Amino acid sequence: MSVSAVLEGTEDIAAARGMARDFLTSLQSEHGLPVWKRTMGTVQLVVSELVTNARKYAPGPCLLTLEVNDGAVEVTVWDSSTTLPLILAPDPSRVGQHGLEIVMAVCRSFEVHREPVGKRIKTAIALADDRDDRRAA
């Protein structure tokens, strides 16, 4: 089960979050997969951060793909820039540039791959975990 969208403008960031919410809702309602409340919020946060970075730092459109694999939602964002993201060490005194730090803290995995054109960032977020046993509404 997967869904993809090409995003071309900053207004698409909200649409990307909505796409993530709708995808997770359908996983639960149509496919019977458990989706925890924490997962619903975490996936939308990760989608927002990754798409925001792609729209901010890369020219042209980006591609967002959400896919279920091995009990997790994989969030993949491709953009046209070959520049790899700068992952800064945690610094509570720094104002801004905490997006990837947050993404890496909440995801099961985080990968960056150069592509023949651009780069692809892939993360995985567990659909359900034992820290939050309440399903999404």
- Mean pLDDT of each 10-residue bin along the chain, 137 residues long: 89 92 93 89 95 91 95 96 84 78 90 94 87 51
Q: In the prediction, which pLDDT does 137 show?
A: 46
At 5, list the tokens.
């969208």
The CATH code of the domain at 2-126 is: 3.30.565.10
CA atoms of 132 and 52, how far apart (whole Å)? 27
Give the pLDDT of residue 131: 56
pTM: predicted TM-score of the whole model, two decimal places: 0.87
User: Can you give the pLDDT at residue 135?
Assistant: 52
The strand pair at 2-7 and 109-114 is best described as: unpaired
99 to 22, 52, 86, 90: CA distances (angstroms): 23, 9, 11, 11
Pick the closest to residue 127 from 50, 23, 30 (CA basis). Answer: 23
What is the pLDDT, as a whole number, of residue 94? 78
- The amino acid present at 20, given as its one-letter code, is A
